[in-house]
Amino acid sequence: MAYLSNAFGLPPSVPFVDVDVDHDNRIFVDPSAIRNGSCRYSLQADARLISFFEEVLHWRRSPDLVERSRGLDTLQRMREPGQTRLGYSARGTDGKGFGKGLGQTLWDALGDPVCSDKALHRIEHLPLFLEGVGKDLISDMVTRIVMDILVDFTQEMMVSYPQLARETSIEAIMLWDPNTLAWIERDVKLPYIGGKQLILLPLGWVSDKLLMSDRPYYNRYTTRQEQLDLTTYDRDGKRDRPTKEAIKADHPEVRTFNRNRTVQDLGKVAHIRLYQREVDEKFTPMDAARIREHLNKELDQAS
């Protein structure tokens, strides 16, 4: 693997993810990791993700056809950010992209009651409920939305580590403009290696799996609430409680049940907030050693 550190002669410890520059790396930007970061780039990115998603949800719920058209167009115009070298591509560093098809699919999914009833309010909540939304799609969305922040980070690293600026290119990159609420293109100067520009990711922003995902939410929150609601007591106080296995057998569609149960319980318990708090309390960033171990393991399995 041609790691950044080897390709550029970098020191062993750097504040960004040391990826293989020739291939997609099967790690992913996770918005929950960003949410738990403390550097200024994490704080900026988290605020951006919140504002972007709030705007998209506003457009999705709007009765105004112009606003709804604008929201759909915003999602359809997203393109996969290949400069990070993350993802699932079969070869090289260019994947299938986001595009009109996935944009339309996500737009349709955002019409679900779990969105319209305002149960869901952050991008990282999407995989709990919506089919077809996994770690690769979330990673692509997040990276594209905060791309200008990543450009700033990369350019700062080019100053801190001049080796990164040995070979550069100036190219137009698609960015989200929070002032005009529209995608724009801007010429940016970035490191150039392996035939394309390079965007660096702050260390601690990536994970090998979604930190908030449908199955743990299902296991510990929605089926648990169903179990509590179905528990009865006889006159002697003896409890009759259905097993989790029985509940899961009755409700095998994990994300569908998560959606229905979350909306049903909105007035009495905020399952998402409880789960997010749990994730935050257990959060440990994926450090450089863990990333390298994971990428080497992926390479061994692929060979």
Residue 229, token pair as written in the block: 């609601």
Average the pLDDT over 47-52 and give the result: 98
125 belongs to a structural domain = yes
**Residue 297 is assigned to a structural domain of this protein:** no
Q: Which residue type sits at 98?
A: F
Q: Domain for residue 106, yes or no?
A: yes
| Residue 283: Cβ within 10 Å count | 16
> What is d(CA 126, CA 130) in angstroms, rounded to the nearest whole number?
6
Tell me the angle at which helices 65-76 and 99-109 cross, rounded to the nearest 10 degrees.
Answer: 130
Residue 97 near residue 80 (C-beta atoms within 8 A): yes
Q: Is pLDDT above 60 for 90? A: no
**pLDDT per residue as tens digits for the range 161-204:** 999 999 999 999 999 999 999 999 999 999 999 899 999 999 99
The full 3-state SS of 73-88, as one line of letters, equals HHHHCCCCCHHHCECC
Is residue 54 a contact partner of residue 178, using CB atoms and an 8 Å limit? no
Establish if 299 belongs to a structural domain.
no
Domain limits for position 110: 4-213
Residue pair 84/21 in contact (Cβ under 8 Å)? The answer is no
Q: What pLDDT, in 10s, does the model give residues 211-232?
A: 999 999 999 999 999 999 999 9
117 found inside a domain = yes
Query: Is pLDDT at 5 greater than 50 in this prediction?
Result: yes
Let me know if residue 232 belongs to a domain.
Answer: no
Residue 57 in any domain: the answer is: yes
Does residue 204 form part of some domain?
A: yes
| Structural domain count, the chain | 1
In the chain, the amino acid numbered 213 is S
